[in-house]
Structure 1
Amino acid sequence: MLNRFIFFLAVLIFMVSAHVVAAEDILDDIAAGQKLEAVSTAAQSSATGADFPVARSLGAMDSDSHEYRIGPMDVIEVEVFQAGELSRAARVNTQGYVSLPLIGPVRVAGLTTGEAERRIEKVLGEKYLQDPHVTVFIKEYESQKITVEGWVKNPGVFPLKGKTTFLQAIANAKGMDRLADFSEVAIFRTVDGKTTGYILSYTKVRSGQQADPVLQSGDIIVVNRSGSKAGWELFTKTLTSFVGWTVLF
């Protein structure tokens, strides 16, 4: 009986040791992969004709104006003071025009709500009303969107409703996954057909050590998985399933 117990114990120790070595190999492979990826990224950013450069400066991400501008497929609500028959909600067509009662199509794409109000007032005042007062609301945001993908809790495409920062976008995606890489998050932005990747730290932005950049329509945020965390969870799950340990994170 004692010999059987000793034999079983020896087998158990051997199998646990094998899993530990395997887990260490996984962590080493991940670390090596991260170094290789970093070298590849640096080479890509410096190479002529690369798909996109990678930059750590966020200066280029700042924008002078963050007020939302109306775009195709947005739905706006136009209210004309003391002229309810001229008030309506309408969708902006693909050419940037909205069709309104009495005055017909008016181009509003690229305008802020205030600018759209003044343009509609001008058209009404020229032909139909004296001193018209118009209010424009954006009812549905459809023309401007950003994408948040990767290791967040709720990845997807989100409407850009006025000024939206990086941290607000992550919050809209329900926050970072616990296996996410908090130290390096990529933002890809395309301007005039040229795509640039920006790297920033979620941890530093949240603590105020880095600026919280304002996003633009079409921006793509990619949150990568932290290799060390993923490897550690794989290691602990292996041990937990084998010997019934409980690991608290």
Structure 2
Amino acid sequence: MYYRFSRPGFAGLRLSMCLLSIFVSGFCAGTNSQEISAPAMPSATAAGTNHPVPPVLTQSGDVNGADSAGVLRPNDEILMTVYQEDDLKSKTIIDVDGMVMLPLLGQVKIGGMTLGQATAQIQQLYNRDYLVNPQVNLIVEKFAARRFAVLGQVQKPGSFDFPQNEPVNLLEAIAISGGYTRLGAPAKVSVRRVENGSPKIYRLDADAIAKDQKKKPFEILPNDIITVGERTF
């Protein structure tokens, strides 16, 4: 069986095919268009300046410098730097009153503080009157001499220096002095310490401390005087 297309119907079919071809061509052209990337954002800058935001300086708590007792003391030699403020760089020594002399600030008391506390104190003072968001870094370049004494029934009684940047506990102090003599009594140990201007004596059982692994060791502080008593028979 054969079908005959009328002329008007065939013309309509050709028109539909032309329109479809135009639509497909336009779609393909659209897919070949280039993508436009977003403009790069500018890097962060400090408010009101052309300088990049400084990195956060952490205190390697700490240890750019806490001493054996964890605090800054007279005769410690301190180096202070301020980020992008080279003219404020200063090397100073803590005096007997715990004071240091710093650029612009004058005398500032940091004795008795940890390194982190002293850094925060100086940063706050600069921020209050002179700088916007200052980044202060403190380093203890040289520690003042720290000494303790061990007397009584030990092999080498005398005065000893603290290992730099390290704490010393009671058992370590006795070991540094050579250990007990034959007459030494570990249960009769005393530590004389000055606290708030007044002497205080701690009576300790070093033998019990050595056996109790869970107990926190008794920490020795600068100028402590340890005395090991004599054994009674």
The question of 1:167 aligning with 2:171 is answered: yes
Unmatched 5+ stretches in structure 2? 1-67
Q: Distance in 2 between matches of 1:197 and 1:107?
A: 29
Q: Distance in 2 between matches of 1:108 and 1:131?
A: 20
Deviation at 1:113, TM superposition (A): 1.1
Q: Which amino acid aligns with 1:153?
A: K
Q: Distance in 2 between matches of 1:211 and 1:132?
A: 39
The question of 1:222 aligning with 2:227 is answered: yes
Q: Which amino acid aligns with 2:161?
A: F
Report the TM-score, using the length of structure 2 for normalisation. Answer: 0.55
Deviation at 1:106, TM superposition (A): 1.6
CA-based RMSD: 3.3
Residues 119, 190 of structure 1: CA spacing in aligned structure 2 closer, same or farther, 3 A cutoff? closer
Is the CA contact (8 Å cut-off) linking 1:142 and 1:159 kept in structure 2?
Answer: no
Out of 124, 128, 131, the residue aligned to residue 130 of structure 2 is: 128
3-state secondary structure, aligned to 2:112: coil
Deviation at 1:162, TM superposition (A): 7.0
Answer with 1 or 2: which has the greater Rg.
Answer: 2
Q: Which amino acid aligns with 1:142?
A: A
Percent identity, aligned pairs only, is: 25
Q: Distance in 2 between matches of 1:174 and 1:82?
A: 48
Q: Distance in 1 between matches of 2:200 and 2:107?
A: 37
Is the CA contact (8 Å cut-off) linking 2:170 and 2:219 kept in structure 1?
Answer: yes
Counterparts of 1:141-160 in structure 2 under 5 Å?
141-142=143-144, 145-150=147-152, 151-153=154-156, 155-159=158-162
Deviation at 1:142, TM superposition (A): 3.0
Counterparts of 1:63-82 in structure 2 under 5 Å?
68-82=70-84
3-state secondary structure, aligned to 2:228: strand
The question of 1:99 aligning with 2:101 is answered: yes
Deviation at 1:196, TM superposition (A): 4.1
3-state secondary structure, aligned to 1:129: coil
Aligned residues: 162
Unmatched 5+ stretches in structure 1? 1-65, 229-249
Q: Which amino acid aligns with 1:184?
A: K
Out of 198, 213, 227, the residue aligned to residue 218 of structure 2 is: 213
Q: Distance in 1 between matches of 2:108 and 2:198?
A: 32
Q: Distance in 2 between matches of 1:68 and 1:175?
A: 26
Residues 181, 84 of structure 1: CA spacing in aligned structure 2 closer, same or farther, 3 A cutoff? farther
